[in-house]
Chains A and B, each alone.
Chain A
Amino acid sequence: MKAVVTVIGKDSVGIIAEVSAECAKHNANIVDITQSVLKDYFAMIMLVEIEKMETEFSVFQKELSILGERKGLDIRAMHEDIFNSMHRI
């Protein structure tokens, strides 16, 4: 089971490091990562394995969003199936 972590907002130093650290803390394995920076606008997408996570998914989501608020970013973790159903036939 995988989740997609999206990080959207203004670029700054250390975003990837902090989000990765949060994933590691919860034992969520990052399997893929893509990012693009358009002017100052930063968008990063991580695919993380959540099966072996040691905390509840909702806790992981909440902590990511708290991290986002601190950094002025929109950070969300959503089950990959919502994207699969929407964009794949």
Chain B
Amino acid sequence: MLNINDILETVNMIKQENLDIRTVTMGISLFDCISDDQKRLEQKIYDKITTSAKNLVPVANELEATYGIPIINKRVSVTPLSLVGASCDSEGFVRLAGVLERAANEVGINFIGGFGALVQKGMTKGSKNLIEAIPEALSTTTKVCSSVNVASTKAGINMDAVKRMGEIMKETAYLTRDRDSIGCAKLVVFANIPEDNPFMAGAIHGIGEPDTVINVGVSGPGVVASAIKREGYCDFSQLADVIKKTAFKITRVGQLIAYEASKRLNTPYGIIDLSLAPTPAVGDSVARILENMGLERCGTHGTTAALAMLNDAVKKGGVMASSHVGGLSGAFIPVSEDAGMIEAAEMGALSIEKLEAMTAVCSVGLDMIAVPGDTSAATLSGIIADEIAIGVVNNKTTAVRLIPVHGKGVGESVEFGGLLGHAPIMKLSDYSSEEFINRGGRIPAPIHSLKN
């Protein structure tokens, strides 16, 4: 029989330490829906999603009950709509967002991702129209998530797109001003976007993926934080070992759920995303892990090193536990969604500059950061450009999800509720990036020799 301590450990992880499966995400290709007739395109997209994902929520609920582990979100990601609706005008794309929302409501999922475009080298007419449609699409829907890939290590950075995305963020914030600019929480700008990411707002179903696929995102920062606390004082080799073992266990649960979901839904299993995804709940925080390592507050000197080690150890433990790993795979540091980050930001221990440094060693980027509503579009583009450059040069995924909260400034805070949490408005630089951003064009792809 199983060891009593092992059983109690698992029960304790779920009961006390918030172990859960963050998301079971079904990727659905919409390529077979393409049509030059808007009505027909809309109908085909609606039918494809509602047919393919019909059983997703019931099966996830069934698994949740059988294995006694909460599955927090059930989601769908689709082929980036700029490809599927390439012939649509902006109005057509807003209508498509409405179709995604209706389909999401019909199958009962929490979010649907893929209202996006890949413009790392340039924009097609379809991509341009989709990007123009983002503010209205996000303000008239609640479950639709949008992502735009503006750069890659191979293509460099499309600075025209970076400039436009700063403006789009501002517009989205304005159109959802009655809800603390929440539209921006569903919009993310990427460098090196992964094609199999199950997490929102950046989930898309990439062009090299099968017709449908099941990707699973695990969670469990609380479990790692407790394991470190239990271990007490030890050196870094031992600490890395504790994290690896814990990550292994967490990931094995994700693997089990992915395997079973794939079997019951008769859909191929894609990947497990090894991300430590926090929630605003007490005891489910990545910041607390770093603090349990010995930092007085997340954001102080040493935070980047601690996060680098955590991220690496989580991957090493997780890779062994799963047959296929992908997506973002790393620790998330979304400020508003992490109780420890919120606290550190509120007391001034954590600044946006430090967060930027931290993103160089973990996934995924400047995430869920509330900034003053009067921030200029050029400054937003400047922040995007900085973060995207880190991803492009270091051959990794980075992303930006900022909320310029309309009508609010530094010293105030914003409440999004639920998994999105709350956040203090962070201070940005007072100096302009305007002239730099206005140059336009592309920043060339970086060289991959002469590394230093």
Residues of A within 8 A of B (CB): 4, 6, 8, 32, 34, 36, 43, 45, 47, 57-58, 61, 74, 76-87
Of B8-16, B71-79, B276-284, B393-401, the one contacting chain A is B8-16
Complex contact B67–A81 (CB within 8 A): yes
Kindly report which residue of chain B lies nearest to residue A80, judged by CB atoms: B2
Complex contact A84–B253 (CB within 8 A): no
Complex contact B65–A61 (CB within 8 A): yes
Q: A78-B67, A78-B68, A85-B253 are in contact. Are A43 and B8 (CB under 8 A)?
A: yes
Complex contact A83–B7 (CB within 8 A): yes
Kindly report which residue of chain B lies nearest to residue A78, judged by CB atoms: B68
Q: Once bound together, how far apart are the Cα atoms of A83 and B65, in whole Å?
A: 15
Complex contact A45–B4 (CB within 8 A): yes
Residues of A near B129 (CB, < 8 A) are none
B69 within 8 A of A: yes
Pick from A34, A36, A86: contact of B1, CB under 8 Å: A34
Can you add 9 more A-B contacts, CB < 8 Å, to A74-B15, A81-B256, A82-B68?
A6-B7, A34-B1, A43-B4, A45-B2, A45-B7, A79-B67, A82-B69, A86-B10, A87-B3
Q: A4-B2, A34-B4 are in contact. Are A57 and B65 (CB under 8 A)?
A: yes
Q: A8-B8, A34-B1 are in contact. Are A86 and B15 (CB under 8 A)?
A: no
The 4 closest A-B pairs by CB, nearest first: A78-B68, A87-B6, A85-B252, A82-B67
Q: Once bound together, how far apart are the Cα atoms of A39 and B234, in whole Å?
A: 30
B176 within 8 A of A: no
Q: Chain B, 303-335, contact with A by CB distance < 8 Å: what is the 0/1 string?
A: 000000000000000000000000000000000
Residues of A near B249 (CB, < 8 A) are 86-87
Q: Once bound together, how far apart are the Cα atoms of A47 and B249, in whole Å?
A: 21
B66 within 8 A of A: yes
21 A-B pairs with CB atoms under 8 Å apart are A6-B7, A32-B1, A34-B1, A34-B4, A45-B4, A45-B7, A58-B65, A78-B68, A78-B69, A79-B68, A81-B67, A82-B67, A82-B68, A82-B69, A82-B256, A83-B2, A84-B2, A85-B253, A87-B2, A87-B6, A87-B10
Minimum C-beta distance from B43 to chain A (A): 36
Chain B: interface secondary structure?
helix
The B52-98 residues at the A interface (CB cut-off 8 A) are 65-69
Instruction: Report the interface size class on chain B.
Output: 20 to 34
Q: A34-B1, A47-B1, A82-B253 are in contact. Are A57 and B7 (CB under 8 A)?
A: no
Q: Once bound together, how far apart are the Cα atoms of A74 and B7, in whole Å?
A: 14
Minimum C-beta distance from B250 to chain A (A): 8
B255 within 8 A of A: yes
Q: Once bound together, how far apart are the Cα atoms of A83 and B253, in whole Å?
A: 9
Kindly report which residue of chain B lies nearest to residue A3, judged by CB atoms: B66
Complex contact A36–B2 (CB within 8 A): no
Residues of A near B69 (CB, < 8 A) are 78, 82
Minimum C-beta distance from A32 to chain B (A): 5
Minimum C-beta distance from A60 to chain B (A): 10
Complex contact B11–A36 (CB within 8 A): no
Q: Once bound together, how far apart are the Cα atoms of A74 and B69, in whole Å?
A: 15
Complex contact B4–A8 (CB within 8 A): no
Q: A34-B1, A58-B65, A83-B6 are in contact. Are A6 and B11 (CB under 8 A)?
A: yes
The B1-57 residues at the A interface (CB cut-off 8 A) are 1-4, 6-11, 15
